[in-house]
Structure 1
């Protein structure tokens, strides 16, 4: 009667829905009433996921009810979140504006009234926007939400060997939680198994577990510190790499400079030696030309004396020519003997230098104290090796 009066006060128009509580809600109320009476006597095992899915979620959007999505109750006693109910009303309004509704509204119904259908039971209600805003909050669901939020949660682990048997015991020699059937079949005390209550085992071994957790947490912190130190060493190795590369480039540049200087010296030597030999050949060519010129001149004088029948001049010139040619003949070895002075590059040390260059320089590693290097940048070598 109270609910009926409440909906009449909300001015729902049209036929009043059946206000009789559904069997599901009556069963739920009886369960809650029976549970509240027995809460002080026994513990209640609750499948939280199934309970939440059935009672604490909106049947339409499947989202959990909360302060922003309060459960609102339709006249048929089915509850939905306020967002979904508003969406139902908007959909009904669009349907009314676009199509003719199959349900005729009463003449007394407001112009803005629409027909809203419950998604669960398909009951139809004629309501306005003001009615939708004033739908009552389903306090039963709110109480269930509060009950779940303030109830301690326990996880029940069942035996993998014996179905639906909770692990309530602990076998010390096997270091294994067991169920009641395990204590009778597989972990008999007569066979040397020492079985105790699981809570007693937890109380006994919790300090051991806490100590192990403390040790593992401490080791994790130590490992993290080592990881950070390794990152610092990795950064230091990057700087060492750059420094070594600069040293290699500087050393090779010095060697290239020496090679360039030696190349220039050899080129100058080539020019010098070839120039000297060329000067000798030019000098010999000049002597040849001078002798040829002298002979041609004496030949011309002799010819003229002969043409003039100057006997005295002819014999005098002939005597000069005989005396001039009486000396040793001019020999040019490059022509007469076919001998030519040549030059070659002496590379007798090339193989040795190539071997030395191929093995020139190496990169040596040395183990250092990282703490000193990281803090002050100085360290002492502990062990060295060569990497070629």
Structure 2
């Protein structure tokens, strides 16, 4: 990863207060100053026409941070330049002066400098020595070279460049449509040649073309996730209805068996067992469907979050990889829940038939059967299933 910086069309220097007071120190340019000035002069004409790739951390460490405390220069902590043209923050320069003053106080009076407040300070970078007083320390000039660099960085657009994993230091500037994959310049020559049927376009053009597709995919994922949650809630309501049906059905069984208690004690137990068995079997089916919906919803949420993160990070390769996974995952038929989509549910009833006729056949009296009926009108979640059209990405 590296930082891609696009210089602004008109980079206007920030108007920092000049800290020069009184007589300025010698401004004879150092070699570093001359080299930097020459580089800036040589690139002035091309700033509006070129972009640059640089290591932002290294650039900041070398030019925009105090070499002593490593804090970054700011508008309220501007770089101050020593006579040797090396710059540090005012706090660190004051600290150097204070240490030199304390060391001077430790000397015997016979070897102290004649000037009562003058001390000798060594530059931490080049070890150049200069004599300073409290007055000269306060009058150190602002290093406007660094100020200009601070302003340049502040007014410069930047974004992350992803390099090709196959070809070292080659940025992913192109996109192969058939392969649905960002590629570098070397890839277009070696592995994704148009002569072999690969259709390569500029990466920015591909982003402009497919960003709406990705946004639509995220919208569909979010919408389907909401649909799954609504179905799960509706299914919970159906499950509660099944519990009520079970209670009512057991009441019917009890009422019938009470009239024939002496003859049908054995059969009553069998029927109760059948009720529990059938209802629990149906409950298990509903629970399984609910778990299936929840599982699919979690997967959809994870995919949507990954796709959002990759899109926010401008990680193009990850975006299209996740998008491919989404297409493959959703290629199958949509989940249909009969109790919700079709409004049909499995219920139970007690078939008593002719009690008088069956009194002599009590051993086989009664049965628990199932029936399908329309779900409650309160559950109107007849949402059409989402069909993910993978061809839209072509």
Residue 155 in structure 1 maps to residue 160 in structure 2: yes
Shift in Å at residue 22 of structure 1? 1.6
SS of the equivalent of 1:154 reads strand
Larger strand share, 1 or 2: 2
Structure number with larger C-alpha Rg: 1
- Matches of 1:206 and 1:98 in 2, distance apart? 70
Shift in Å at residue 156 of structure 1? 2.0
- Matches of 1:225 and 1:95 in 2, distance apart? 77
Q: Is the 8 A contact 2:68 2:88 kept in 1?
A: yes
- Matches of 1:223 and 1:70 in 2, distance apart? 57
Q: Return the match for 2:196 from 175, 191, 195.
A: 191
Q: Return the match for 1:138 from 137, 143, 146.
A: 143
Unpaired runs of 5+ residues, structure 1, are: 1-5, 230-364, 368-381
- Cα 1:216–1:52 shift into 2, 3 Å: farther
Residue 93 in structure 1 maps to residue 98 in structure 2: no
SS of the equivalent of 1:87 reads helix
- 1:361-380 map, 5 Å: none
- Cα 1:20–1:84 shift into 2, 3 Å: same
- Matches of 1:200 and 1:162 in 2, distance apart? 22
- 1:1-388 map, 5 Å: 9=23, 19-99=27-107, 105=113, 107=114, 109=115, 111-216=116-221
Shift in Å at residue 181 of structure 1? 1.2
Q: Is the 8 A contact 2:121 2:129 kept in 1?
A: yes
Q: TM-score, normalised by structure 2?
A: 0.50
- Matches of 1:169 and 1:104 in 2, distance apart? 70
- Matches of 2:217 and 2:128 in 1, distance apart? 61
The alignment's C-alpha RMSD in Å is 3.8
Shift in Å at residue 39 of structure 1? 1.5
Shift in Å at residue 160 of structure 1? 1.0
- Matches of 1:115 and 1:226 in 2, distance apart? 80
Shift in Å at residue 220 of structure 1? 7.5
Shift in Å at residue 168 of structure 1? 1.2
Q: Is the 8 A contact 2:176 2:199 kept in 1?
A: yes
Q: Is the 8 A contact 1:70 1:81 kept in 2?
A: yes
Unpaired runs of 5+ residues, structure 2, are: 1-19, 234-279, 284-345, 349-394
- Matches of 1:117 and 1:42 in 2, distance apart? 40
Shift in Å at residue 189 of structure 1? 2.4
- Matches of 2:92 and 2:229 in 1, distance apart? 50
Q: Is the 8 A contact 1:57 1:64 kept in 2?
A: yes
SS of the equivalent of 1:170 reads strand
- Matches of 2:215 and 2:110 in 1, distance apart? 70
- Cα 1:98–1:183 shift into 2, 3 Å: same
How many residue pairs get matched? 227
Shift in Å at residue 123 of structure 1? 1.2
- Cα 1:219–1:88 shift into 2, 3 Å: farther
Shift in Å at residue 164 of structure 1? 1.8
Shift in Å at residue 186 of structure 1? 1.1
- Cα 1:140–1:219 shift into 2, 3 Å: farther
Q: Is the 8 A contact 2:174 2:202 kept in 1?
A: yes
- Matches of 2:22 and 2:176 in 1, distance apart? 65
- Matches of 2:158 and 2:230 in 1, distance apart? 37
